[in-house]
Amino acid sequence: MAMRDLSLGSIQHVAGGTVDATFQQQLKRVIEDCGDRPGEKKARQVILIVNVTPIMLQDGAAYDVSTDYEIKSTIPTFISRPVECRVKTGGRAIFNDLSEGNVDQMTIDEISGE
């Protein structure tokens, strides 16, 4: 058994290394998203929250604390290009998959009547 000071550096040993492994997994996630969407300039985040709760003894003193760890990551939301749709009856909308910016765009075969 090794006694360690609780610090950022020693968190890698907490909970059998699962806190560190989860942090590394979330870090990998945000780095991969940067590679997948290099045009998205918003920052990605990996967040480590250490919750520290006092452990109350019978005399009301707190000699110990309990810690737990939250690891989460955020990546920018994916937003597609706008797609123009025509509203139809019954709460429907249709779009032109050959010209998503112009629902009225016709193809050559439609213009010639073929």
- pLDDT tens digits, one per residue of 43-54: 999 999 999 999
pLDDT at position 5 is: 93
For the cut 60, the answer to whether the pLDDT of residue 80 exceeds it is: yes
Q: Which alpha helices (DSSP H) does 18-85 contain, by range?
A: 18-36
CA distance 24 to 45: 12
How much of the chain, in percent, has pLDDT values that exceed 90?
56
CB atoms near residue 84 (< 10 Å): 14
pLDDT at position 33 is: 97
pLDDT at position 18 is: 96
Q: Which two tokens stand for residue 110?
A: 């439609």
Does the model's pTM come out above 0.85? no
Q: Which three-class secondary structure state does DSSP give residue 14?
A: helix
Any idea what the Cα angle at residue 80 is, between residues 74 and 84, rounded to 5°?
Answer: 150
For the cut 60, the answer to whether the pLDDT of residue 113 exceeds it is: no
Judging by beta carbons within 10 Å of its beta carbon (0-12, 13-18, 19+), is residue 46 exposed, middle or buried? middle
- Which of residues 67 and 84 earns the better pLDDT score? 67
- Which of residues 87 and 68 earns the better pLDDT score? 68
Q: What's the DSSP call for residue 103?
A: T
- What's the whole-number mean pLDDT along residues 13-29? 96
